Structure 1
Amino acid sequence: MLNLTDDSVRAVLRSVNPKTQTRRVVKLPHHNPLGQWQPTLIGGPNGGRTARGETIPEQGGIWHTRTGDSLMCPYGQPGDRLWVREAWCHLSDVRTADPGGDALQRRVFYRADYPGDTLMHDDDPAERIKWRSSRFMPRWASRLTLEIVSARVERVQDISEADAIAEGVTKFSDSFINGLPGWEGFSDALPRASASDAYIDLWDSLNDARGHGWDTNPWVWAIEFGRLGK
């Protein structure tokens, strides 16, 4: 499973330049000073086989040069599927005569579809919906399934311009309309000169308070995925 923010869900769902990558901090088990952590490759034609005799898909990993400890991507390997969890609410939480879309079928509303928390009770506009955390989304309520294409380990600052675009950053509205350079920032309403600059802003908005800001340059799992279905 994979938890996504509202912005990320909207980026995955959009038809033009959808989000196809995500980066997650590698949770290292220790920081032994007698060695260092280094990225590596696991699997492939000469990388061993599973208990069923199948070739292990080539994927990125990380290992410690002193202890020999190694980690594989905890989110899965190429070919694995991830179901997405996002902020939501049950149809029973909403007193509305017209749920719209496929809410009646799914019995679910998704907060990403209502920027600014605009979904309110018809009979009491002052009463806003109490959205449920993505952590409490059951499998049946998920609307997005992703398939892992590749997984590798790198420093977050190694992200390329193309990868930053694949992370879901968007063109600044005025720049998009006028065909000018500029990408949307997340800390203010000002455009950024490059997609990479916009991604730095996005990364810090999600990770700086957790001690993994851009300047700390943590190791990350760089996961590329494709969306299954419509």
Structure 2
Amino acid sequence: VRPKFIDYYCPYTLGGHFINACNKDGEPVCGIYVKVSVERLNDISEQDAIAEGIDTDWLAESQDNYDCIADHNMSGRPTAKGHFSYLWQSIYGDDKSKCWEKNPWVWVIEFKRVQEQRND
């Protein structure tokens, strides 16, 4: 990976501007793709839903999730997958669109987390 001038459209800066993809020592600071695949939306696991940002502690404690629990007829503690489904539908559809039930193919992109090294 090396720094590069933008020579095509980029929504984040103007053409010809410098994007620094390395730290001051010249080491790459970009994300690294580990795995790219496709899967059916409904095949998401509990762990994958948590990795998408669903906070299970918040689910257990929050009274605001009553609607999610009632709408999906969940009993006991709500699941991360169930709440991910509720979130997906709130973003991509409504009651008529059945966006979760259509079970579309979705991209699954996993990254290697790169920790910033600090020399304090």
TM range (shorter): 0.5 to 0.7
**Paired letter, 1:150:** K
Q: Select 1:213's aligned residue among 99, 102, 105.
A: 99
1:204 is matched with 89
- How many angstroms apart in 1 are the aligned matches of 2:61 and 2:110? 21
CA contact (8 A) 1:152 1:222 kept: yes
The 5 Å alignment of 1:57-68 reads: none
Q: Distance in 2 between matches of 1:205 and 1:141?
A: 36
Distance in 2 (CA, whole Å) between partners of 1:160 and 1:203 is: 14
In structure 1, what is the equivalent of residue 43 of structure 2? 158
Higher relative contact order (CA 8 A, sep 6+): 2
TM-score w.r.t. length of structure 2: 0.53
Offset, 1:206: 2.7
Which structure has more helix as a fraction of its residues? Answer: 2
- RMSD over equivalenced CA pairs, Å: 3.4
Q: CA deviation at 1:151?
A: 1.4
Partner of 1:137: 12
Q: 1:167 — aligned with what? A: 52
- Give 1:13-162 correspondences, 5 Å limit: 136-138=11-13, 140=19, 145-162=30-47
Residue type of the partner of 1:207? Y
- The 2-side partners of 1:217 and 1:183 are apart by 29
- Decide whether aligned partners of structure 1 residues 147 and 205 sit closer, same or farther in structure 2, where only a CA change above 3 A counts: farther
Q: Cα distance, 1:224 vs. partner?
A: 1.2
Gaps of 5+ in 2: 1-9, 22-28, 70-77
Higher-strand-fraction structure: 1
Alpha carbons of structure 1 residues 183 and 147: separation in structure 2 relative to 1, 3 Å: farther
User: In the TM superposition, what whole-angstrom CA distance separates every residue of 1:25-70 from its partner, at most 9, and x where no partner exists?
Assistant: xxxxxxxxxxxxxxxxxxxxxxxxxxxxxxxxxxxxxxxxxxxxxx
- Structure 1 unmatched runs, 5+: 1-134, 176-181
Provide closer, same or farther for how the CA distance between residues 183 and 199 of structure 1 changes in structure 2, counting only shifts above 3 A: farther
Q: 1:218 to 1:168 in 2, by over 3 A?
A: same
Partners of 1:164 and 1:196 within 8 A in 2 = yes
- Kept in 2, the 8 Å contact 1:145–1:227? The answer is no
Does residue 225 of the first structure (1) align with residue 100 of the second (2)? no
Q: Is the 8 A contact 1:183 1:194 kept in 2?
A: no
TM-score normalised per structure 1: 0.30
